[in-house]
Amino acid sequence: DAGVIQSPRHEVTEMGQEVTLRCKPISGHNSLFWYRQTMMRGLELLIYFNNNVPIDDSGMPEDRFSAKMPNASFSTLKIQPSEPRDSAVYFCASSFNSGRIETQYFGPGTRLLVL
């Protein structure tokens, strides 16, 4: 089991540039989550997909952020345009949600630095 795979692991970009983060969930999982972690705010849920459909995007900070899940094995989180305050570690997590309690498994994260 390869676990949740995220790419890139590190990203350094300049303010105003577009940033795309990628996630491959664990095979067979039907739920996918994007989280952001900063020293100031800790771990925050940005968006939750179930069966490739966005269910809860209330944590997405603003219109500059968008997330897609075109199929069960791939998701992207895009920031356009990026700003220095977007610098954080972005985690993707997946789980199998059968309607009962579920366990989320996290990827290694993407460390984003916006200059």
65 vs 91, beta carbon nearer other proteins: 91
45 vs 81, beta carbon nearer other proteins: 45
50 vs 66, beta carbon nearer other proteins: 50
Restricting to residues 4-23, name those near other proteins by CB under 8 A. Answer: 4
Q: Shortest CA distance to 82 belongs to which of 112, 111, 109?
A: 112
Does position 82 bind other proteins by CB under 8 A?
no
Does position 34 bind other proteins by CB under 8 A?
no
Q: Are 82 and 114 in contact (CB under 8 A)?
A: yes
Interface residue with other proteins among 28, 102, 113, 115 (CB under 8 A) is: 102
Torsion of CA 88, 78, 73, 45, to 10 degrees: 50
Q: How many residues does the chain have?
A: 115
